[in-house]
């Protein structure tokens, strides 16, 4: 075994589900020694026909206590990694870095009353991991999950989201969660319509949540399209909601693995 091989484990693909032609979910086996905090990401590797390995970062959808790893991926047209990944079948090998990475975790916020999770596309992944862990339910009074996609068919994990509040271990805490789907390119009953930034600026998001975004009470996590993150950060900053830094407490946390 070479030094480079010692940095990853070889896992098997257990399940693949196609959501749309460009979106799919996958489940892999998990090395017993792989540890992560809810909200972190792993580096996944696929071996090309040439023998070289291509690596990309993917947030875990699954909970830290699960015996498997779940991931959510988009197929990038002609993408070096996702074109290989999308061709994998159950039983095929997938490489997983032994170390988890990322700072989109609840320890970014030492305090706060309301947890806002704002996601676009596959950016929903780390928030589902966080919601399958007990800490968020224990710490916050309200949890608002905002999931924005272009078309309704792109809304993934709807059954999981619906079932989350009913889990036995929550012992009645499930009522803290409000799920607000957002669809930008079509009008869908039960979903908000428009970009997340617009919904914040015009007050529609807060009205739908029946909750205000305030520096005192709100703690906000952003994950998804880099432009959405940049634009939303700018809108939040005008309301004195600032990025949480290592040495400076704040109200906003983002993930930067693009």
Query: Per-residue pLDDT tens for 140-192?
Result: 999 999 999 999 999 999 999 999 999 998 999 999 999 999 999 999 999 99
What DSSP assignment string belongs to 201-231? HTSHHHHHHT----TTTEEEEEES-HHHHHH
Q: How far apart are CA 76 and CA 185, in angstroms?
A: 20
Percent of the chain whose pLDDT exceeds 90: 87
Q: Is 94 helix (H, G, I), strand (E, B) or coil?
A: strand
DSSP state of 56: E
Q: For residue 141, what pLDDT is reported?
A: 98
Q: For residue 9, what pLDDT is reported?
A: 97
User: What average pLDDT score do residues 11-38 get?
Assistant: 96
The residue among 76 and 162 whose pLDDT is bigger is 162
Q: For residue 258, what pLDDT is reported?
A: 52
- Half-sphere exposure (Cβ direction) of 128: Cα atoms closer than 13 Å: 25
Q: For residue 83, what pLDDT is reported?
A: 84
Q: Is the pLDDT of residue 126 over 80?
A: yes
Percent of the chain whose pLDDT exceeds 70: 97
User: What average pLDDT score do residues 45-74 get?
Assistant: 95
Residue 3 binned pLDDT confidence (cut-offs 50, 70, 90)? very low
Q: For residue 256, what pLDDT is reported?
A: 65
Q: Is the pLDDT of residue 100 over 90?
A: yes
Q: Is the pLDDT of residue 134 over 60?
A: yes
pTM for this prediction: 0.95
Find the radius of gyration of the CA atoms of the chain: 18
Q: Is the pLDDT of residue 232 over 60?
A: yes
CB 86 within 8 A of CB 79: no
- 8 DSSP β-pair partners: 97
Q: Which domains does the chain have, with CATH numbers?
A: 5-97 (2.40.30.10), 106-254 (3.40.50.80)
Q: For residue 257, what pLDDT is reported?
A: 55
Q: What is the mean pLDDT of the chain?
A: 95
Neighbours of 129 (CB within 10 A): 25
Strand pairing category for 23-29 and 8-20: antiparallel
User: What average pLDDT score do residues 213-239 get?
Assistant: 97
Neighbours of 192 (CB within 10 A): 20
User: What average pLDDT score do residues 111-131 get?
Assistant: 98
């Amino acid at each position: 075994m070479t030094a480079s091989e010692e940095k990853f484990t070889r896992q098997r693909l257990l399940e693949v589900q196609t959501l749309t032609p460009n979106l799919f979910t996958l489940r892999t086996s998990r090395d017993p020694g792989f540890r992560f905090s809810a909200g972190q990401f792993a580096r996944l590797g696929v071996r090309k026909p040439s023998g070289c390995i291509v690596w990309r970062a993917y947030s875990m959808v699954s909970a830290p206590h699960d015996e498997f790893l779940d991931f959510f991926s988009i197929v990038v047209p002609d993408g070096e990694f996702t074109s290989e990944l999308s061709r994998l079948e159950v039983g095929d090998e997938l490489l997983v870095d032994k170390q988890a990475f990322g700072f989109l975790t609840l320890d970014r916020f030492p305090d706060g009353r309301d947890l806002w999770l704002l996601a676009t596309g596959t950016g929903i992944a780390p928030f589902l991991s966080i919601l399958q862990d007990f800490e968020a339910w224990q710490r916050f009074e309200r949890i608002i999950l905002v999931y924005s996609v272009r078309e309704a068919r792109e809304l993934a994990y709807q059954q999981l989201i619906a079932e989350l509040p009913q889990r036995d271990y929550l012992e009645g805490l499930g009522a803290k969660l409000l799920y607000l789907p957002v669809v930008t390119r079509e009008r869908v009953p039960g979903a908000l319509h428009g970009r997340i930034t617009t919904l914040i600026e015009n007050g529609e998001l807060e009205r739908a949540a029946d909750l205000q975004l305030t520096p005192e009470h709100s703690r906000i996590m952003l994950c998804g399209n880099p432009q959405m993150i940049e634009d939303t950060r700018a809108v939040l900053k005008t309301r004195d909601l600032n990025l949480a830094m290592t040495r400076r407490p704040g109200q906003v946390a983002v993930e930067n693995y693009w």
